[in-house]
């Protein structure tokens, strides 16, 4: 059994994304799993931590994230180290913490043939973005680009126009919190997870995620789960084998892990 899950806003949550809609005395105990610049950054509940540790011992657990390798390296998940991890939305396949060079070459060949070059997409992003709401612009692993924006000032129409333009270039646009990602369509988590399944001989794959960039991963799973928040929930996206959970925020992380543990044990 192989379990591949997105991390941010699926299993782990920033303070702003916890969504603790309850009295303080009833709030769950939290475990910090990421520190950045000497500050705690990401959390899961202690209950979720126990479930994740159990899951990682019963199945091949594959963290599958859009984070760069450096960003992923800041996370300390409970349980044994993951033997495989997917970073940069499938751009890097980590094996025992090291990026597989053969996978890197395969990804580069796919991108060279399947979409517009990063430089032209980045140029369009910078030319069309308004300095009034653009806070930062970054390139991730020389594979894709993202903007950090002031959501209160960001026009909804701008994101839609960008998505329409990017679609014609063979790219996907995803709005997650304060970040707008522009990612090549051939760069997918599902392709990297399929490679892990091939290497491990997994006969069944379970998946979870919350954003548009996770849709391919959820489609590829034999069973899949999404939380009650995020891009997929906002658009009502689903599929016959995908369970749309009602829970939001850090409670959704617990619910997803409970579901995964039950499915692995079945």
Confidence (pLDDT) at 156: 85
pLDDT at 18 over 90: yes
Confidence (pLDDT) at 216: 96
pLDDT digits (tens, 9 = 90+) for 186-195: 999 999 999 9
Confidence (pLDDT) at 24: 86
The residue written with tokens 């001989």 in the block is 201
pLDDT at 113 over 90: no
- Find the mean pLDDT for residues 257-261: 98
Domain boundary at 149, 169, 184, which?
Answer: 184
Q: In terms of domains, do 8 and 96 share one? A: yes
Confidence (pLDDT) at 22: 79
Name the nearest CA neighbour of 184 among 252, 127, 117: 117
Here the CATH number for the domain that contains residue 122 is 3.90.1070
pLDDT digits (tens, 9 = 90+) for 169-221: 999 999 998 999 999 999 999 999 999 999 999 999 999 999 999 999 999 99
Q: In terms of domains, do 120 and 230 share one? A: no
Q: In terms of domains, do 168 and 147 share one? A: yes
Domain boundary at 140, 157, 184, which?
Answer: 184
For residue 239, what are the domain limits?
2-108+187-265
Check if the beta carbon of residue 142 is closer than 8 Å to that of residue 182.
no
Confidence (pLDDT) at 184: 97
pLDDT at 114 over 90: no
Q: In terms of domains, do 221 and 258 share one? A: yes
Q: In terms of domains, do 192 and 243 share one? A: yes
Confidence (pLDDT) at 51: 98
User: How many structural domains comprise the chain?
Assistant: 2
Confidence (pLDDT) at 26: 84
Q: In terms of domains, do 258 and 135 share one? A: no
The verdict on pTM exceeding 0.85 is yes
d(CA 180, CA 208): 21
Confidence (pLDDT) at 6: 98
Confidence (pLDDT) at 23: 80
Q: In terms of domains, do 126 and 63 share one? A: no
Q: In terms of domains, do 257 and 193 share one? A: yes
Query: Which helix (H) or strand (E) element contains residue 94?
Result: strand 92-95
Here the CATH number for the domain that contains residue 89 is 3.40.50.1000
Confidence (pLDDT) at 109: 94
d(CA 99, CA 34): 21
**CA dihedral over 48, 52, 53, 57, signed as positive or negative:** positive
Q: In terms of domains, do 11 and 77 share one? A: yes
- Find the mean pLDDT for residues 115-139: 96
100 — pLDDT class (breaks 50, 70, 90): very high
Q: In terms of domains, do 83 and 193 share one? A: yes
- Find the mean pLDDT for residues 254-261: 98
Query: Cα dist. 200→24, 138, 219, 232 in Å?
Result: 44, 34, 20, 29
- Find the mean pLDDT for residues 32-37: 97
- Where are the extended beta strands (E) located within 132-217? 134-140, 144-149, 171-176, 179-184, 205-208
Q: In terms of domains, do 71 and 166 share one? A: no
Q: In terms of domains, do 55 and 25 share one? A: yes
Domain boundary at 161, 184, 207, which?
Answer: 184
């Amino acid at each position: 059994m192989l379990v591949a899950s997105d991390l941010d806003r699926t299993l782990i949550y920033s303070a702003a994304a916890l969504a603790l809609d309850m009295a303080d005395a009833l709030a769950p105990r939290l475990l910090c799993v990421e520190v950045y610049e000497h500050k705690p950054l990401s959390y899961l509940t202690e209950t979720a931590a126990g479930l994740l540790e159990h899951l990682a011992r019963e199945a091949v657990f594959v963290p599958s994230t859009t984070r760069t390798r450096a960003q992923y390296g800041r996370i300390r998940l409970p349980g044994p180290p993951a033997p495989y991890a997917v970073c940069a939305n499938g751009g890097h396949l980590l094996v025992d913490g090291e990026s597989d060079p053969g996978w890197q070459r395969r990804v580069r060949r796919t991108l060279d043939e399947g979409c517009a070059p990063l430089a032209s997409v980045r140029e369009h992003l910078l030319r069309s973005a308004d300095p009034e709401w653009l806070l930062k612009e970054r390139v991730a692993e020389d594979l894709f680009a993202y903007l950090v924006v002031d959501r209160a000032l960001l026009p909804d129409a701008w994101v839609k126009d960008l998505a329409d333009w990017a679609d014609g270039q063979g790219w996907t646009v995803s709005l997650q919190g304060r970040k707008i990602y522009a990612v090549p369509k051939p760069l997918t988590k599902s392709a990297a997870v399929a490679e892990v399944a091939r290497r491990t001989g997994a006969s069944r794959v379970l998946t979870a995620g919350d954003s548009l960039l996770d849709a391919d991963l959820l489609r590829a799973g034999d069973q899949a789960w999404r939380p009650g928040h995020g891009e997929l929930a906002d658009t009502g996206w689903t599929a016959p084998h995908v369970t749309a959970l009602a829970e939001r925020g850090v409670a959704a992380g617990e619910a997803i892990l409970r579901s995964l543990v039950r499915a692995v044990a079945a």
